[in-house]
Structure 1
Amino acid sequence: MKTVKKTALVTGAASGLGFEFAVLLAKDNYNLILVDIDVEKLGIAMTSIRMISDVRIKVIIKDLCEMSSSEEIMMEIGNTPIDVLINNAGFGLFGKFSNTNWERESQMLQLHVYTTTYLTKLLLKQMQKRGSGKILNVSSLAAFQPGPLMSLYYASKAYILSFSEAIANELKGTGITVTALCPGQTNTGFQKVVAESCTENTLKFNMACPRAVAKYGYGAMQQGKTVAIPGQLNRLLSNIPRFIPRRLVTMIVRRLQESNRE
């Protein structure tokens, strides 16, 4: 009897963590649906994955900052059952809130909050009918405290963490798990995007390898962990806001943001 392969959908799959997740899934014999706005990099990613695995790969070129993107993705996947959803796509913006570009910020909020939430809801309904599924939402170490000079990024990542923890609790005993991956700074294209509108673009503190971060998050998802924080230092940093005043935490984060760009 032929075994039916499971299918995973990964957003932001053209590079960085998204690509590394796709590689791990392919090695575990998942068919892939890769979603990204970057046509060229998505093609390169697909070619690279096909060199290591014969899984079926479907690519969806989509701007996830558009409000209609989640419904359009559902139309493109049709009746294909999604066993794993990895909401990885995201970007940041550096600068004082009073000076940053609202159009770009609204796109970030649309992506991190609306698209992540709605795509999760749509695919969760499908998973509930089958009584199984895994969801991994990429949050950040930034989710654990306020972030001056990246205020909306920190706030939106805090939303992803809180949302993921809440629905993970709601889904206990259903066969569906939800994991929030909260990495620290990771050496991906994220830093380039953050620095687009500022003169300094070097982020040096506590930089992690995307392959290692993806492997850690992937393992946590497969184990059904709710919150996954890669790295002992990051786990320590995530707990600091519990023990010192938030005003002081906010001041420390501000100093780190400034020093990382010197």
Structure 2
Amino acid sequence: METRKTALITGGASGLGYELVLLFAKDNYGLVLVDIDSDKLLETKKEIESTYQVPVQIMAKDLSQVNISEEIVSELGETQIDALVNNAGFGAFGAFHEVDWERQEQMLNLHVMTTTHLTKLILDGMVKRGSGMILNLSSLAAFQPGPLMSLYYATKGYILSFSEAIANELKGTGVTVTALCPGPTKTSFQQVVSSASSENKITFNMANAKDVAAYGYKAMKKGKSVAIPGGLNKILGTLPRFVPRNMATQIVRRIQEKNREE
């Protein structure tokens, strides 16, 4: 009898993470879901277990906290993780010197430290077993600087670079790493970016979370190192290679200012 595989998904209670949870559940994966929203976690657990008859373990954790990855892995005990999805993330709109430092520090901890540390802690077992998949949520923002969301763009750039590098290191080990780089996607992200409802309401080229999740899931299973859903996004991702960096930066600045005005 084949042993059921297990996937650990951060930010799995809503949005893109939730859509990825459904895809793993359909493939009969056991699930470990980590999210800051304990109520949504419980709702998701009940829904998945009743619909797909797969075991779901939930952990209500603030993934922006220092050393939270060690706490998660400790609570996993002997549970073997066959797929890791580092999905949790958020944005903060505004000039770097004006945005609250506590919020910026949380973003750095979540996008950089937690993503990196959790990957490192889970990856060791995968390499020893000779199998495993990691999906890291980057963004189309990773391909250029982003005035007025400077740390978000920078940290997503880090996730992309980090993922591509270790994907190369892991060739031949049976373990793959995929960076999913979606453009604007209809999730709760737009509400979290800023407390001002008028800010960053991007509607142009807006993707559906279900479609983005399906694209990323398929790319992960194929072992692709970088996955950019949408033809227009693929073109936009290459633009910084063909225009001066200061021009690309200025274009992003204008887009951000326009979104703020709408």
Q: TM-score, normalised by structure 2?
A: 0.98
In 1, Cα distance between the equivalents of 2:198 and 2:96?
A: 17
Alignment of 1:135-150 (within 5 A): 135-150=134-149
Q: Does 1:68 align with 2:63?
A: no
Are the equivalent residues in 1 in contact too, given 2:93–2:200 (CA < 8 A)? no
Q: Letter of the 2:98 partner, please give it.
A: N
Are the equivalent residues in 2 in contact too, given 1:84–1:135 (CA < 8 A)? yes
Equivalent residue for 1:194?
Answer: 193
Q: Letter of the 1:239 partner, please give it.
A: T
Q: Letter of the 1:135 partner, please give it.
A: I
> What CA deviation, in whole Å up to 9, does each residue of 1:223-256 have, x standing for no partner?
0000000000000000000000011001100111
> What CA deviation, in whole Å up to 9, does each residue of 1:106-160 have, x standing for no partner?
0000000000000000000111111110000000000000000000000000000
Equivalent residue for 1:224?
Answer: 223
Are the equivalent residues in 2 in contact too, given 1:87–1:137 (CA < 8 A)? yes
Deviation at residue 201 of structure 1 after TM alignment: 4.9
Alignment of 1:170-209 (within 5 A): 170-197=169-196, 199-209=198-208
Q: Letter of the 2:250 partner, please give it.
A: M
Alignment of 1:1-262 (within 5 A): 2-197=1-196, 199-261=198-260, 262=262
Deviation at residue 258 of structure 1 after TM alignment: 1.4
Are the equivalent residues in 1 in contact too, given 2:191–2:197 (CA < 8 A)? no
Point out the more displaced range, 106-115 or 37-46: 37-46
Q: Letter of the 1:124 partner, please give it.
A: L
Unaligned runs of 5+ in 2: none
SS of match in other structure, 2:3? coil
> What CA deviation, in whole Å up to 9, does each residue of 1:142-190 have, x standing for no partner?
0000000000000000000000000000000000000000000100011
Point out the more displaced range, 118-127 or 251-260: 251-260
Are the equivalent residues in 1 in contact too, given 2:146–2:253 (CA < 8 A)? yes
In 1, Cα distance between the equivalents of 2:122 and 2:202?
A: 35
SS of match in other structure, 1:214? helix
In 2, Cα distance between the equivalents of 1:191 and 1:97?
A: 18
SS of match in other structure, 2:124? helix
Are the equivalent residues in 1 in contact too, given 2:93–2:199 (CA < 8 A)? no
In 1, Cα distance between the equivalents of 2:34 and 2:136?
A: 15
In 2, Cα distance between the equivalents of 1:213 and 1:242?
A: 24
In 2, Cα distance between the equivalents of 1:141 and 1:147?
A: 11
In 2, Cα distance between the equivalents of 1:178 and 1:199?
A: 36
Unaligned runs of 5+ in 1: none
Deviation at residue 200 of structure 1 after TM alignment: 2.9
> What CA deviation, in whole Å up to 9, does each residue of 1:42-98 have, x standing for no partner?
112222222420111000111101112100000111111100000000000000011
In 2, Cα distance between the equivalents of 1:162 and 1:119?
A: 17
* Aligned positions, number: 261
Are the equivalent residues in 2 in contact too, given 1:205–1:260 (CA < 8 A)? no
In 2, Cα distance between the equivalents of 1:101 and 1:50?
A: 40
Deviation at residue 41 of structure 1 after TM alignment: 1.1
